[in-house]
Amino acid sequence: MTDESERFIQAAIDGEMRLLDPAVRAVPDRVLELLDPEFHEIGASGRRWDVESILAVTSGGTVSPKSPAEVSDMSGTVLAPGLVHLTYFTDDQGRRAWRSSLWRLTETGWRMYFHQGTLVG
């Protein structure tokens, strides 16, 4: 792996970890810094999300100020210049899911373009 690939993957991991932090999620401007304007998600619940719906939930006070989910097995791959795919596992007080995110490099930095969570039985 090249130094550039390692830097790209680490930037995406850093962004992902910030988005998982309840303190970051509670501040709309901080969330907006990390989500691509074209962001979309298929949540572990099966619900589709976009930037506006994510902000409505996070800034509406429905995100509890609990500890972040436990994260494990995070790995990343550079799919193309400026595009990183992350996969990892979360355990949020017994709600377990495999997660996948695409991060792309924009003029303003690394931003999440797509996310999907799949519950694990």
**Sign of the C-alpha dihedral, residues 30, 31, 32, 35?**
positive
pLDDT in tens, 1-36: 899 999 999 999 999 999 999 899 899 999 999 999
Whole-prediction pTM: 0.90
Q: Which two tokens stand for residue 26?
A: 């509670």
Q: What percent of the chain has pLDDT over 70?
A: 93
CATH 3.30.70.20 fits 3-61+68-119, yes or no: no
In terms of Cα–Cα distance, which of 104, 55, 48 is closest to 78? 104
In terms of Cα–Cα distance, which of 104, 89, 107 is closest to 38? 104
3-state secondary structure of 69: coil
